[in-house]
Chains A and B, each alone.
Chain A
Amino acid sequence: MVVSPEMSDTQGTGPAAVDDRLLVKRAQRGDVRAFEALYRAHSKRVYALCRRLCGDVTLAEDLCQETFVRAWTGLASFRGKAAFGTWLHRVAVNTVLGHRRWSDSREDLRAEDLSTVEAFSAAKPEGRSSHSLDLERAIARLPQGARAVFILHDVEGYLHREISEMTGMAVGTSKAHLHRARRLLREALE
């Protein structure tokens, strides 16, 4: 199975998107190997989103798996209007935000039991600057609502209107969370 390294193309026009469309068609016919190729192409991006959103390494892996299972069962509803990666991203966001363990978790996470903070602290991955890792750690310590909106808006590029649709919070609330997140991050990184 040849999988393009540019699978994360979200514009829906590049070679990766064309490969995705072919793989999606095969997967829609029940081809598990084609779906595995889609997983190989998109899993790191989905996992990054899950990990940043939920702030927990183990839970992020569970939610990443759950995202792909939901994507498989819902693949028939994917009509190809957007790129597969964009659709999958939305499935991941809905999976994390709708997850009981995420929504029931504490509003303020403490550093000493936050596995993501520890994971980002444990070792400096190749190619990551210490500034980038400081930011990851600071994001992981944000209150849940502020963290989710910051990641969706400033890292993933969603609009407040889209965040409002996904989370059910008002646009004004989304903006308030974002401004708070930025202020807290700025203070943490000073």
Chain B
Amino acid sequence: MNDCKHYQHCMNEAVDCDLTPDLTEQLEAHLDSCPACHRYMDDLRALLTAAADLPTELEPSRDLWPGIEGRLMGQPSSRWPVRRVVLAVAALVVVGFALSLLRTPNTGPQLLAPSESGIVQANNRTATLDDVRLEYRQARDELMDVVQARRDEISPETLQVIENNLALIDRAIDEIETVLAINPGEGRLDRHLRLAYHRQIELLRWAARMPSRT
């Protein structure tokens, strides 16, 4: 009886072609001598044949397309927003890379600490996106004022790099905000937007703290 239980397990493996040659040989010998297991094997094969013969298609009770189409109307067409977000995120990656090159071990004098909470909020996933937007705008305005006040202390080349990167991030934020408006609650967009805010604040902080060229 224990043998039969063992061989029933083997039969399942055998029909899935997972049984080793040795065990297959043992199973075949057992089946020749055990009518109950022989019948079990026949039933198992019949079951698998019947399962494979089940219709691959079934008709829903109603046409589901109108409901699908109605939902598609509220969705973005599948391609353009994805492409826009991909481009926006790519821009953020470029800015992140540029920032890593610009950073120096000496970050210069601590000239300011305006609205550091903006940076905290952008990284705080429990904060709502509206809170993050508010904090970000406040921090951005304050940091922009500081950077403007330091224009004469920063070389024109560096200033150009900063402005180019700020423009890139602004465009990324615009793209993500546009797609987020179509897909509110989309988690990835939310994360991308927080990253964009964080990158912009990071860049401005760097610009505000960088050593004077004189």
Interface residues in chain A, defined as those with a beta carbon under 8 Å from any beta carbon in chain B: 8, 27-30, 32, 35-36, 39-40, 43-45, 47-48, 51, 57, 60-61, 64-65, 68-69, 72-77, 127-128, 131-132, 135-136, 150, 154-155, 175, 178-179, 182-183, 185-186, 189-190
Contacts and interface: CB of A to CB of B under 8 A. Distances in A.
Interface in B30-76: 40, 43-44, 47-48, 50-62, 64-65, 67-69, 71-72, 75-76
Given A45-B57, A155-B51, A30 B68 contact: no
Contact of A182 (B44, B64, B83): B44
B97 interface: no
Contacts of B68: 39, 65, 68-69, 72
B65 A182 contact: no
Given A75-B78, A135-B50, A48 B62 contact: no
Given A68-B68, A72-B68, 20 more contacts: A8-B57, A27-B78, A29-B77, A30-B78, A35-B72, A39-B64, A45-B57, A61-B64, A69-B68, A69-B75, A73-B76, A73-B78, A75-B79, A76-B82, A76-B83, A128-B55, A132-B53, A135-B51, A183-B8, A190-B43
Interface of B: 8-9, 12, 40, 43-44, 47-48, 50-62, 64-65, 67-69, 71-72, 75-80, 82-83
Given A132-B54, A186-B43, A61 B12 contact: no
A57 to B, nearest CB: 7
A72 B56 contact: no
Contacts of B50: 131-132, 135
Main secondary structure of the interface of A (DSSP, over half): helix
A68 B55 CA distance: 21
B59 A47 contact: yes
Nearest to B58: A48
B35 to A, nearest CB: 16
A60 B60 CA distance: 9
